[in-house]
Structure 1
Amino acid sequence: MTPLTVVCWNLERNGKGDPDVRRAADEILRRLKPDIVLRQEMLGADARGHTVFNEQCQALGMRGVLGPGACTAIFYNPEKFELVRDWSTDRTPRFVLPPTVITVRVKEAGPEAVPVILASGHFAYASAQQRLLEAEWLTTWADKGWTAPDGCQIVLPLAAGCDTNSYPEPGTAGDLPLPNLSDIKNRPHRLHRSRRGPDGVRRVPDTEPDHTIREAGLEDVARYWAEKGNPSALARTVNGTATHGPDTRIDRIYVTTSLLPAVTNVGVHEVPLDTSDHHVVVWRVDGNALADLLTNCALFART
């Protein structure tokens, strides 16, 4: 099987309403040759009977699922993946911006292979408490049962790409340091990106979504790859500004840990600021290793 590429990108307001910006963004993605695109900020993609969304699918040569309210979306390569289930019709409580969540099967792994749940999320911008709720609800897709052909009860693996609007928990060498809140000059933004600390008075940078998701048995692929000796995986995904503080890594891809052996590279592809205020997280996957993992149901057996 050929290598697979998964990307996560918050394209600012889906091209800021400008078709030229949107087309430039499509070209950026085409050059990355993605097989899965986890997108956030799909503003306007549902207009005129999803005309814009359909154009974007055609431009990428991919099929797609647009989530509720055109907040998020997932595009996939139909030659390598087949859609098994779209969770968008299910109730998604507690999300300000609902995620897009689908189950897909890797075709070359075979019809009896374990499917994978994909999620594209965009956590709340203005509330640390809301983000924590959303992170907790996101982990419910890491606990979806499935019956394998041999009758084994398993938990489907999850790969979720999110604009978390929060910071990764410290502890990985080479990761961007947490901001000094006094360096965030915009006071509302300072509030939005922080929460009260253990003393109940002093505010601290918000890292709770990252802690919560990893506590559920998922891992940040950039963190994993950096710990393998590749610190470039921890590059910024949003540039620092004078008002909003230093460079940050708020866009992250989390996966069920049983999928980690298939990781071959993680990096960040920087894009011009006139295209988007976020850069693209790029996760490369060994397709053969992934297929081998997905045909071993014992790896995903419910415990």
Structure 2
Amino acid sequence: MRITVLCWNFERNGSGSHIARFQAHETLRSLNPHLVLRQEMWGSDADGHRTMFELESILGMRGWLGPKSSTAIFVDPTVFEPVRTWPDTGPMWVQPPTALTVRFKPAGVESMPLAVVSYHLNYGSPGNREVESEWLTTWADKKWTTLEGQTFTTPALLGGDSNSFPTPGTPNDPPLPTLSKIEDRPHRLHRSYIGPDGRRQMDTRPDEILRTAGLKDVARYWATAPGGNTAAIARTVNGCVTHGPDARVDRIYATTDLLPAVRGVDVIEVPLTKSDHHILRLDLDGDVLTDILTRPISATLPAA
């Protein structure tokens, strides 16, 4: 069984257009996802969460809307079931994430659950992004206690709009912009920070923070893995005159225990008339995922 995870910042949630929302989520549904991480869910809580219910219906999935209608998670209820929510995602968030702990149903009721997070780091403040990224790392350290009293750290999968750049070093990764060539002067500030040498440099700190905490950029992993493909590190936003060249600001991170299940990462390009971000897709091997989620439990059980 292949498990498809999609991550998409759909621009302004269609800017109030029912038709735009419908078409965008029909596109998502056509990709047969089991897990969708959405950003820019603006207005989805209005009129008794009417838009949220609409999107659930289009996708044929169950959804959770985060605080301030910034982010959301949708799951295929035949594949994943929630075991807890995380309504308090910590301080400092301008656009709070949506976080769930879910169980992969094919792995069985006694399997280890995993933490899933849809995030949207701050657009205008590199300092705020740094703190938000530090709080994101707390989902790589969530504990779960089994009915037998055994406690484990759950695997974690986090995806969203990082509004910053991956650390250079992966062949064929879109290069970092040159700060002086970004024509929009406020955007220079939004995407850079003062480095140790006192000079302003492009912001890669969220990526560095998450990787320091043991999370891996799955696109970077797949682009360099045996049998992988550099399509994984395609742009997720198009270059433009004011904001600089193509960039990979949308990323999915996973704890290292999940990496053996990765079977593909790619980017589905979306016309700019629909959204300013493309769709990031991660494919997981369900059988390997089951093995990962049951191995810690079986290792603690007494021999028959």
TM-score bracket, shorter-length normalisation: over 0.9
Question: Match of 2:162?
Answer: 164
Deviation at 1:91, TM superposition (A): 5.0
Within the alignment, does 1:211 sit opposite 2:208 as a pair? Answer: yes
Within the alignment, does 1:125 sit opposite 2:114 as a pair? Answer: no
Q: How does 1:36-51 map to 2 (within 5 A)?
A: 36-51=35-50
Q: How does 1:107-256 map to 2 (within 5 A)?
A: 107-200=105-198, 202-228=199-225, 229-256=228-255
Structure 2 Cα separation of the partners of residues 60 and 27 of structure 1: 7
Q: How does 1:14-163 map to 2 (within 5 A)?
A: 14-88=13-87, 90-163=88-161
Structure 2 Cα separation of the partners of residues 145 and 48 of structure 1: 36
Two-structure CA RMSD over aligned residues (Å): 1.4
Is this contact kept in 1: 2:89–2:96, CA < 8 A? no
Give the SS at the match of 1:265.
strand
Question: Match of 1:278?
Answer: 277
Structure 2 Cα separation of the partners of residues 166 and 299 of structure 1: 40
Deviation at 1:300, TM superposition (A): 11
Give the SS at the match of 2:106.
helix
Alignment coverage as a number of residue pairs: 298
Give the SS at the match of 1:24.
helix
Is this contact kept in 2: 1:293–1:299, CA < 8 A? no
| Between 166-175 and 142-151, the greater mean CA deviation after superposition | 142-151
Structure 2 Cα separation of the partners of residues 248 and 226 of structure 1: 16
Within the alignment, does 1:8 sit opposite 2:12 as a pair? Answer: no
Structure 1 Cα separation of the partners of residues 298 and 267 of structure 2: 29
Structure 1 pair 185–51 and aligned structure 2 pair: CA distance change class (3 A): same
Structure 1 Cα separation of the partners of residues 39 and 223 of structure 2: 25
Which structure 1 residue ranges, 5 or more long, are not aligned? none
Provide, for residues 140-161 of structure 1, a one-character-per-residue CA deviation record: whole Å limited to 9, x for no partner. 1111111234433211111000
Give the SS at the match of 2:109.
coil
Is this contact kept in 2: 1:164–1:252, CA < 8 A? yes
Structure 2 Cα separation of the partners of residues 216 and 5 of structure 1: 25
Q: Partner letter of residue 225 of structure 1?
A: W
Deviation at 1:92, TM superposition (A): 2.3
Structure 1 Cα separation of the partners of residues 282 and 288 of structure 2: 14
Structure 2 Cα separation of the partners of residues 177 and 8 of structure 1: 22
Structure 1 pair 146–250 and aligned structure 2 pair: CA distance change class (3 A): same
Is this contact kept in 2: 1:117–1:159, CA < 8 A? yes
Q: Partner letter of residue 35 of structure 1?
A: H
Is this contact kept in 2: 1:156–1:300, CA < 8 A? no
Q: Partner letter of residue 224 of structure 1?
A: Y
Is this contact kept in 2: 1:164–1:250, CA < 8 A? yes
Is this contact kept in 2: 1:155–1:300, CA < 8 A? no
Q: Partner letter of residue 254 of structure 2?
A: V
Structure 1 Cα separation of the partners of residues 139 and 197 of structure 2: 33
Deviation at 1:193, TM superposition (A): 0.2
Structure 1 Cα separation of the partners of residues 262 and 115 of structure 2: 17
Provide, for residues 104-146 of structure 1, a one-character-per-residue CA deviation record: whole Å limited to 9, x for no partner. 0000100110001100000000111100000000101111111
Give the SS at the match of 1:252.
strand
Is this contact kept in 1: 2:89–2:97, CA < 8 A? no
Give the SS at the match of 1:30.
helix
Which structure 2 residue ranges, 5 or more long, are not aligned? none
- TM-score normalised to structure 1 length: 0.96
Structure 2 Cα separation of the partners of residues 84 and 300 of structure 1: 22
